[in-house]
Amino acid sequence: MRAWLMGGCLALLLLGQQAAAQTLLVVGDSISAGFGLNTDQGWVTLLQQRLRKEGYAYKVVNASISGDTSAGGLARLPALLSGEKPGLVVIELGGNDGLRGQPPQQLQQNLASMVAASQQAGAKVLLLGMRLPPNYGERYTQAFVRAYEQVAQASQVPLVPFFLDGVGGVPQLMQADGIHPTAAAQPRLLENVWPQLKPML
């Protein structure tokens, strides 16, 4: 009888943990989609593994698409919020906006709209910032950086200033195209995100 009761309590505990699990939604581009990597090598997969290891009841949904822009992410977001009902949204977009020379003001507006929509849906938001190579010109690259800073400040959401910090521009951590990080770089990407993400869990 005692063993039966203990087994029942354990089952109820596990069910409670599953019910309490929230969804962490990552909306990004090829960096988060793991372009050029095996599906189990990307930083988003490493994030799910760390959450489980440290006892956080989160299911990670990776809604990242290679080549996506902030406009694309904004267009996709309502359906993702409705379908996944995330408790936390990580936005990693803008790199393709910059590489295509799109106006930083447009990037800022799109990111602000994504943050607002996520917050209205009841989700916390973490914004991952990007930077561009200096050959895009100081005026443009500085405006690009400010777009993230201004969104984070106005929306009062945490910001990782440069998601590729310690990775971008390091040849041994970048694929041959010089744009996408290698498998060896993925743990560093997670480490760049974790200090801002952990307090939000």
Task: Check if 40 is active-site.
Answer: no
Nearest CA among 174, 147, 181 for reference residue 43? 181
Residue of 29, 30, 68, 70 with catalytic role: 30
Strand partners, 126: 90
Residue of 68, 70, 97, 180 with catalytic role: 180
Task: Check if 180 is active-site.
Answer: yes
Active site residues: 30, 177, 180
